[in-house]
Structure 1
């Protein structure tokens, strides 16, 4: 799918994720309105100019954190053997990405829930979430293209990528409003009623 990252790119991604975590922590404590870019940079241990090298504004800073789940999902999906039914592949990869063991995975879900709750009252944060999902859909398309049945036309491929991305997005948004520990059941319900149905 994606080419391997260079050392410089990996360091950049790690710095962006450090800033994203710092922003999420401060948003949880003080809300986006009560948080400044200077505070985020200080919490992340970087200069303010470094913050603005990577992000346009404070809400934009959480983009890497919100994107990480989609990155895991696509990586797992990309490892699916050809010939696997597409809906089955989409669901299995989503469930696996949301069921990873360990504190890091649990922390990622906690951050996602907190950010999605905060986004309900913050248009700029919602815009970041929608942008992350649009970018995820675009990255998903070549993976879907490889796994789709031969002869699937461009409309079917794009609709499947869009439906799968939106199924995950809406599932996470609904889950974030509940006290359920995991979004897996929401995702299974959503993917079972949508993507892949065009095939």
Structure 2
């Protein structure tokens, strides 16, 4: 993974006030970690530094995260939360190809999202030299793919082949992941040609061009 505005987790239905506060604290820590990684790099940043910047005790940091790299997971995961929520709002039986494209474009083009995308670019660049940070990125994407399967299954309907649903979830997740990685390695803008939204849709169309749930075959 992994939102414009900047990226923030989408509250789950029925989430209690305590759970919302925990999520807000996690996001504060994630933003602090991202800022420090951008300023000093992961190697020169400690968990203590992140806790101090976030205004929490070190024990609070470790209550939520296992490592300094793990602290950025909520920030990276927010993008997946955003676009799955947009897709989940579609009605069952909708044409899946266009629906997925709408959700991807919507999540990657939300007003005020430039800062979140630039944070993601900085994290992905830092991950090139940090295996632990790369591992967090891949884990976030795998979790996003797993959560996408039931969303697509509901939209595709009861008669859909579970394998087709699973493959479409993998393709959609990888389209966004690859698009963000390619974009992060450049100085391309956050909107317009070369942007994450445009590149993700291009990847999506290439990866799903022959998939039955998209073509209707």
TM class by shorter-chain length? Answer: over 0.9
**In structure 2, the residue corresponding to 1:53 is in which secondary structure?**
helix
CA RMSD of aligned residues (A): 1.2
Alignment map for 1:151-170 (pairs within 5 Å):
151-170=159-178
For each residue in 1:56-86, what CA deviation from the matched residue of structure 2 results, as whole angstroms up to 9, or x when unmatched?
0000000000000110000000001222211
Who is 2:86 aligned against? 76
Q: 1:189 aligns with which of 194, 202, 209?
A: 202
Match of 1:27 in 2: 37
The answer to whether the 8 Å contact 1:83/1:147 transfers is yes
Say if 1:19 and 1:40, in contact at 8 Å, map to a contact too.
yes
1:120 corresponds to which residue? Answer: 128
Cα distance, 1:197 vs structure 2: 3.4
Among 60, 64, 68, the residue aligned to 1:58: 68
Cα deviation for residue 150 of structure 1 reads 5.0
Secondary structure of 1:60's match?
helix
In the superposition, the TM-score normalised over structure 2's length comes to: 0.87
Q: Distance in 2 between matches of 1:148 and 1:181?
A: 34
Query: Cα gap change, 1:156/1:144 in structure 2, threshold over 3 Å: closer, same or farther?
Result: same
Aligned residue in 2 for 1:94? 104
Match of 2:14 in 1: 4
| Secondary structure of 1:180's aligned partner | coil
| Deviation string, structure 1 residues 153-192 (Cα, Å, up to 9, x no partner) | 1111111111110111011000101111121111110111
TM (norm. structure 1) is 0.95
State the distance in 1 between where 2:70 and 2:208 align. 29
Gaps spanning 5+ residues in structure 1: where?
Answer: none
Task: Name which of 114, 119, 123 aligns with 1:106.
Answer: 114
Instruction: Note if contact 1:86-1:196 (Cα within 8 Å) is conserved in structure 2.
Output: no
* Runs of 4+ with deviation above 6 angstroms: none
Q: Using CA pairs below 8 Å that are at least 6 residues apart, which structure has the higher relative contact order?
A: 2
